[in-house]
Structure 1
Amino acid sequence: MQCIIVHFSQTGNTEKVARAIQKGVSQTAGNCEITTIKEIKPERLIDYDLIGLGCPVQGFVEPGVIQAYIYRMRDLNGKHIFPFATHGTRPEFFFPSIVPKLEKKGLVVIGMYNCYADLNLPSMPRPYPTAGHPN
């Protein structure tokens, strides 16, 4: 099985979670690559059987750069994917937003994960309740 974790991380929070997921998948299923959306073109995802796609929640949904990445994916009919997200506020609109986009590309969503992370908004008081996360 060919596995890859692809992530977009601005502050390091999502990358930290991506690395933890990669470690767990590697221990269970063998080798699992990890990379960023800048390092792998969406067209290359056809080479993988299992794809993890992670990003921060921005404006309650996936960031525009992830929307564009998904848009550029070719048909990945039958490939398995699990989206994951980091967030400082409520994530309830994230999965209802991203899952249909992934399914439209023929991907089979086999699971989802989200976790609180330190919030990096200048307008919010510090320390924010999620400070120090993910830990």
Structure 2
Amino acid sequence: MPRKTEKKMKCNIIYQSSTGNTRFGAEIIQWQIQREGGKCDLTRVAAVTADKLEKYDAIGIASPVYSLQPAPNVTECLAQLPSFPGKYGFVFITYGMYPANTIATLAQLLQAKGIRLLGVQAMRAEESFTPIRFPGLILSAGRPTNHDAILVRNFASELIHRYTLVRGGYDISPGLAFSRSAALDSLTRFATKDMMRRMMGRVIVDRTKCVQCGLCAANCPTQAIELKPFPMLDNNRCMGCWGCINICPYDALASPLAKNRLRYKGIREYRKMQIEDYLARVP
């Protein structure tokens, strides 16, 4: 009797990434899933639609930690999506200082949509919050490392293994227990959008440096920037994440607190090569 063909995972990873770390991790997961015979696509949060997700049997969420919380456009996207009973899901986050309850928040949002959780993973990355980036004193400097990449790659392999187990009727839920800290929830109430916005101060655009490339607007997690034709910030939407100031390749955006601070430009080495080439160098 012919052996039944094992169904391979077909997933879509919804991601938000400004400086590149979260996309870096998402691409490693994508690469490993495809290497093991599955299919995996990446979709920016702004491009997600319910119809687009229907054809996948697994949905991944990849988000950086902003002010001890998930990126706001990621949580808004999940809240607006319909239920997907019968689908599988996983959570991947990146953080510099502390992840707080970010994993629990995203996992619970997926479960609220009827999605069965396969796993969660966090990757440490260099702290990008400009006010606390001082020369010689940067949290998680140099992260992610090759070791971090290996851990994410192993996580992707474990996702495939769990996917196969669940489809075979095994219950993996006891091994996926996660807790939520009420104390950490209280802490995030202090890191409000208004407080972070006031800390950042007025964003100044140097029109002699700006080339109107649109990188700041395309990567803003709250869609607070428009080009008219130079960047214009909507203070009511801005959450003070400093992403626009960090990622501008021409340092055309600044604020009073950005002076004498080191801006974070992302993973320079990774940006110069394809993910296949990068992982080929990792043991």
**Does residue 1:33 correspond to 2:41, yes or no?**
yes
Q: Secondary structure at the match of 2:100?
A: coil
Indicate conservation of the 8 Å contact 2:68/2:102, yes or no: yes
Once the two structures are overlaid, the 10-residue window that deviates more, 94-103 or 34-43, is 34-43
Matched, 1:131 2:131: no
Higher relative contact order (CA closer than 8 Å, sequence separation 6+): 1
Q: How do 1:1-135 residues align onto structure 2 when only pairs under 5 Å count?
A: 1-126=9-134, 127-135=137-145
User: Whole-Å Cα distance in 2 between the matches of residues 20 and 134 of structure 1?
Assistant: 12
Residues 42 and 13 of structure 1: is their aligned pair in 2 closer, same or farther, counting only changes over 3 Å?
Answer: farther
CA shift at 1:74, angstroms? 0.8
Which one has the largest radius of gyration?
A: 2
With the length of structure 2 as denominator, give the TM-score of the two structures. Answer: 0.45
For 1:131 and 1:59, locate their aligned partners in 2 and report how far apart those are by CA, in whole Å: 18
Bigger shift: 40-49 or 116-125?
40-49
Structure 1: which amino acid aligns with 2:84?
Answer: L
After superposition, the C-alpha distances for 1:5-30 in whole angstroms (9 at most, x for unaligned) are: 22110111101111111111111232
Runs of 4+ displaced beyond 6 Å = none
Q: CA deviation at 1:33?
A: 1.3
Structure 2, unmatched stretches of 5+, are: 1-8, 146-283
Structure 1 unaligned segments of length 5 or more: list them.
Answer: none
User: Cα RMSD between the aligned structures?
Assistant: 1.5
Give 1 or 2: higher strand fraction.
Answer: 1
Following superposition, the deviation at residue 43 of structure 1 comes to 4.2
